[in-house]
Homo-oligomer: A and B are copies of this chain.
Amino acid sequence: MTTTTFRTVRGPAEPTGSAITTLRPLPPGSATLDGGLWGHRLRVNREASVPEGLGHLREYGNLRNLEIAAGLAEGEATGPIFADSDVHKWLEAAAWEYGREPDEALLADILEVTRAVAGAQAPDGYLDSVPQLRGVERYSDLPWSHEHYCAGHLMQAAVAQVRATGRRDLLDVAVRLADHLVETFGDGDGQLREVDGHPVIETALVELYRETGTRAYLDLARWFVEARGTGIIESHGKQPTYFSDRVRVREATTAEGHAVRAVYLGAGATDVAVETGDRELLAALERQYAAMVDGKQYLTGGLGSRWDGESFGDPHELPNDRAYAETCAAIGAVQWAWRLLLATGDARYADQIERMLLNGFLSGLSLAGTEYFYVNPLQVRTGAHPEEERNPAAGRRPWFGCACCPPNIMRTLSSLEGYLATVADGTLQVHQYAPGTIAAELPGGTLRVRVETGYPYTGRVTLHVEEAPEGAGLALRVPHWADGATLDGAPVAAGGYATVGRALAANDAVVLELPVAPRLTAADPRVDDVRGCVAIERGPLVYALEQADQEAGAVVDDVRIDASAALGDQERPDLLGGTVVVTATGTVQPRPDAADGPYRPASAPVPAAAGTVTLRAIPYHLWANRGPQAMRVWVPVA
């Protein structure tokens, strides 16, 4: 096995030179996050989540399964049939972490886990330890076995490992596995015409193609994308919609079915579209993404309105209390939006990434980095029943029997620096704002900026130019909500990119001012679940009322907001690791006397509220760090 170390740190999703992308991700080691909200979260991820995650993978038997299959241990397989995938996701996270800052202990862990994975591989390249150990016939139940799903996560980990550590250990395994899949699946004689019930292999094969140049991987990814939607999946109790198998990807008009599966497929199909130059497919994916945003996305960026089937609902079906909004759906949608951003250069996708990352994704992780939400609702009532494992009313949990989200959060944070900026036409586009540095190789040389900002809490983003070639361009995203934004003091339009009009030079500073004053947001009248309600936002952050912050008597279930009163904000360095609290004026709706159960004549007077209260809201992503309690994002208007 080749173990030559060659450092080529790159990020996730690297289109080839021939891909039809508008923007290109930054080349090796270009962007760093080193302070503020994200800097803190990345440090916690590295110091707590990733090490504890490996412990959980040992404790729950995921790693053991691979060790047994590798002949390194004895015993029987434990856990769900796709248990390997969590190991692979952890390997991906650990690789990106090593790329961010080499660490020999971390590398030792990576290599130990990689040895187990490599050792478990069958001579012909097949690798999935649980089916192997349980003697399950290969691909005998692909709708549910997740064999390609596990393979996909392995390939993604392998690509991360070679990009971030330069080591080919896992890449060699991934290549043998991919070669086995190329041989086994497709339209050829003796090949299996089947697709996995859970996408991810599509993105993974395209990335492996990008890394290795092996066209057959791209072709197989394309085959999987094209085969889907033809009723190819024999569904065993679930309808084709669940598997994104009701309609072909290029004919679909919206996102439907299991949310995580749908957005992973969207990401993979976008990769296929740009690498094969398939503009029709790309247009279809843009259309689907837009329809998803128009009627099926929570204000937090959360996706998936139904617990049943972990699925999208009908358009405008967006319940707050029973939102599923799986953390992994936000992760997959960030991946999809990033690929559409690269393809189109449309700032709306960068807005989307910000919305999801700072709200419905980050809510999935506790401040300490050691507890997780699978499900991210927008409302929990007082006394909500906390029993089920995934029920947020019980608070975040250290791990899950079907782990899924925790290592997915880890790999997303570990690769987050890859989503900050791009280049195109001699210009650096900065999409996300956080303290750190960004360097881009432009035609005339290196453009290097140091970003200083308290964003997302404060609106000033200062980019100190450390180095700039002649003719360097700099474009800064102005979020859709940022009416009144200025660039170097001049007004710029919200919703798009503002280009610095002057020549850039070292020691220059560019100042973007984004108005982050708190604001109230309403919803389309067709969103029945938030009728008569508003939500508080401040900059890119969605806010929530949590019971712990309220005055005595201001029960979150009963409060009303005065939408005409001014909102206030208050820096609170002492609260939840440091945050800004938004205050609003409200009332407490008295509960009417019991009548016919909760029903009463419409003409019966509703008791009036007495006096006002000050409502205090915290960023949604910070809720549930102080024990289970009531919370709501949408607040009824008084």
Contact = CB atoms under 8 A, between A and B. Distances in A.
Contacts of A241: 385, 387
A156 to B, nearest CB: 29
A527 interface: yes
Contacts of A306: 307, 322
Interface string A136-167: 00000000000000000000000000000000
A522 B597 CA distance: 11
A379 interface: yes
Contact of A523 (B318, B600, B603): B600
A596 interface: yes
A529 B529 contact: yes
A388 B636 CA distance: 33
Given A320-B528, A385-B241, A526-B558, A480 B596 contact: yes
B527 A598 contact: yes
Contact of A522 (B308, B529, B604): B604
Interface residues of A, number: 66
Residues of A contacting B: mostly? loop
Contacts of A320: 528
Contact of A600 (B316, B319, B521, B563): B521
Nearest to A521: B599
Contacts of A322: 306, 313, 317, 319, 322
A13 interface: no
Interface in A426-446: none
Interface string A522-541: 11111111011110000000
A314 B308 contact: no
Interface stretch (A460-468, A546-554, A586-594): A586-594
Contact of A597 (B239, B293, B308, B600): B293
Nearest to A388: B239
B246 A387 contact: yes
A602 interface: yes
A231 interface: no
A481 interface: yes
A28 interface: no
A589 B295 CA distance: 17
B519 A601 contact: yes
Contacts of A526: 557-558, 591, 598
Given A241-B387, A294-B597, A319-B529, 8 more contacts: A239-B387, A297-B597, A314-B385, A316-B557, A319-B319, A322-B322, A527-B598, A534-B602
Interface of A: 239-241, 246, 256, 293-295, 297, 299, 306-308, 313-322, 379, 381, 383-385, 387-388, 393, 480-481, 519-529, 531-534, 557-558, 563, 589, 591-592, 594, 596-604, 606, 636
23 contacts: A294-B594, A294-B597, A299-B599, A313-B322, A314-B385, A316-B381, A319-B321, A319-B529, A321-B528, A520-B601, A523-B600, A524-B598, A524-B600, A525-B589, A525-B606, A526-B557, A526-B591, A526-B598, A528-B529, A531-B531, A531-B636, A532-B532, A534-B602
